[in-house]
């Protein structure tokens, strides 16, 4: 009896540490750490910083395994996943950029820079990479030189320039399935556009509802609601804005952030700028810069879909100089991760998103249902790779790689109602209500 109680309490402590405030994951003890980044690929969490290098975790950051890096020049600045390959980009002391990929969890790396624009003044060097986005076997990159926007399939031998992007100068990439999305300060469509053919042609919707002279800087997509979110600034209406669209940019609705964001009276006074966002149903996080010394970074959270916001800074470091920003917000297996520049990787629990509030994903064929021990999922060629089971308040209770035959054991679940989702490239592509007898 004593042994069972001790195990239960230990498990409860682990769960509560994920749910109550932010937790530093201990990847560095340097007070001014540089080049920290976090990402995920095929169920594995990756993080890197300048001092301690690359690490991976199989338990969402509870423990970390060092990954000796050979063949990468400079320090790692970020990650991208295409489904088959883990990509990373780095930069050396002369600001030359590099892109690499690995198929063995970082044990070996292959350089992938053919076609990238040259460095402006370093002979033989490549332009530094500002953003690298992977999706469904394809990639898009923003560099800091002319002809800055390039795309490729992961198996293509070289990067290809995208003239439309060069002309319209978007500030951010995102993707929904095979559709690549951009937003920036372009002349067309308030800078918002999307491509269903990997950059060959672009759709520029009406964008009704976006303010004049709007410049989008951060894009994200909520896989639970299907909404696309854009954060940016308007030079006419001062201050940061967040808008969302349910119709691929035809119309946009603004989130009311007036209760939390600072807007200066002029361009010479401090105004918040949004650097990162994460949306999962009713759970929304928005991270901003903060110029105030001896305060925690400005990170705001909504648990009601954006109707109200409050600070979510418990556990985050106090910044002596007012320079910390939380960026790289991402969700993996029910936990939210972000990085403090000049500091560590942090984690907290996602919170609950009720099944009834989830997106209208296509229904799966699941049999028998109700079931006691095992269910069969009809895949019908959807290409699903993983599955997740969530309880009635949206908590992740079971997950794994989807077997080829679609058979999943549910023997460990308690009696009750659940939602079964199948995922491809980390995005839900089908769902079904499941009853465990």
Q: Is 356-436 the same fold as 8-352? A: no
The tokens of 210 are what? 């976006």
Of 213, 129, 221, 211, which Cα lies nearest the Cα of 182?
Answer: 221
**Assigned token pair, 306:** 């954006």
Distance (Å, rounded) from C-alpha 393 to C-alpha 278? 19
Residue 399 in 3-state DSSP? Answer: strand
Question: What is the third-level CATH fold of 356-436?
Answer: Immunoglobulin-like (2.60.40)
> What pTM, to 2 d.p., does this model score?
0.76
Three-state DSSP at 49 gives strand
Q: What is the DSSP letter of 223?
A: T
Q: Find the helix or strand (DSSP H, E) in which 66 lies.
A: strand 65-66
d(CA 85, CA 102): 6
Where do we find the tokens 């984690």?
347
User: How far is it, in rounded angstroms, from Cα 57 to Cα 51?
Assistant: 18
Phi, psi dihedrals of residue 233, rounded to the nearest 5°: -135, 150
Check: CB of residue 69 under 8 Å from CB of residue 79. no
Domain ranges within the chain, ordered by starting residue: 8-352, 356-436
Cα–Cα nearest to 15, from 353, 436, 335 = 335
The Cβ of residue 324 has, within 10 Å, a number of other Cβ atoms equal to 22
Residues in the chain with pLDDT values less than 50: 1-19, 187-189, 353-359
Q: How far apart are CA 230 and CA 373, in angstroms?
A: 44
Per-residue pLDDT tens digits for 375-418: 999 876 666 678 888 876 566 788 888 888 889 999 888 877 78
CATH superfamily of 8-352: YVTN repeat-like/Quinoprotein amine dehydrogenase (2.130.10.10)
Alpha helices in 107-213 (DSSP H): 163-168
| Enclosing H/E stretch for 75 | strand 75-81
Distance separating alpha carbons of residues 341 and 328, to the nearest angstrom: 10
Q: In angstroms, rounded to a whole number, what is the distance separating the alpha carbons of residues 101 and 89?
A: 9
Predicted pLDDT of residue 269: 63
Sign of the Cα torsion 285, 400, 427, 165 reads positive
**Token output for 100:** 């690499």
Give the DSSP letter of residue 365. E
Predicted pLDDT at 29: 73
DSSP classification of residue 190: G
């Amino acid at each position: 009896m004593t042994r069972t109680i001790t195990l239960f309490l230990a498990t409860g402590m682990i769960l509560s540490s994920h749910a109550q405030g932010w937790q530093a994951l201990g990847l560095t003890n340097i007070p001014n750490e540089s080049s920290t980044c976090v990402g995920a690929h095929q169920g594995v969490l990756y993080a890197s910083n300048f001092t301690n290098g690359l690490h991976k975790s199989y338990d969402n950051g509870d423990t970390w395994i060092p990954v000796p890096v050979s063949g990468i020049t400079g320090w790692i600045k970020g990650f991208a996943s295409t489904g088959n390959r883990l990509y990373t980009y780095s930069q050396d002391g002369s600001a030359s950029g590099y892109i690499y990929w690995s198929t063995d969890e970082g044990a070996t790396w292959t350089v992938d820079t053919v076609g990238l624009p040259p460095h402006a003044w370093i002979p033989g060097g490549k332009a530094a990479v500002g953003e690298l986005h992977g999706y469904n076997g394809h990639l898009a990159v923003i560099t800091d030189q002319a002809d800055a926007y390039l795309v490729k399939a992961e198996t293509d031998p070289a990067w290809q320039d995208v003239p439309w992007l060069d002309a319209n100068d978007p500030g951010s990439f995102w993707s929904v399935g095979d559709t690549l999305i951009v937003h920036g300060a372009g002349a067309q469509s308030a800078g918002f556009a999307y491509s269903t053919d990997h950059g060959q042609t672009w759709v520029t919707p009406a964008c009704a509802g976006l303010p004049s002279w709007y410049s989008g800087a951060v894009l994200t997509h909520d896989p639970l609601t299907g909404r696309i979110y854009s954060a940016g600034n308007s030079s006419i209406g001062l201050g940061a804005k967040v808008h969302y669209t349910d119709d691929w940019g035809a119309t946009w609705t603004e989130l009311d952030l007036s209760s939390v964001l600072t807007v200066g009276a002029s361009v010479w006074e401090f105004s918040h700028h949004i650097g990162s966002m994460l949306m999962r149903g009713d759970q929304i996080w928005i991270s901003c810069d903060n110029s105030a010394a001896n305060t925690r970074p400005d990170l705001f959270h909504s648990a009601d879909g954006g109707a109200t916001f409050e600070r979510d800074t418990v556990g985050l470091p106090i910044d002596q100089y007012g320079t910390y920003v939380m960026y790289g917000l991402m969700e993996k297996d029910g936990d939210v991760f972000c990085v403090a520049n000049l500091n560590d990787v942090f984690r907290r629990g996602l919170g609950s998103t009720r099944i009834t509030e989830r997106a209208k994903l296509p229904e799966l064929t699941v049999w028998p249902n109700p079931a006691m021990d095992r269910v069969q999922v009809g895949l019908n060629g959807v290409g699903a790779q993983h599955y997740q089971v969530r309880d009635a308040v949206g908590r992740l209770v079971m997950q794994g790689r989807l077997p080829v035959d679609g058979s999943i054991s549910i023997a460990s679940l308690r009696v009750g109602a659940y939602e079964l989702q199948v995922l491809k490239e980390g995005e839900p592509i089908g769902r079904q209500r499941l009853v465990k007898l």
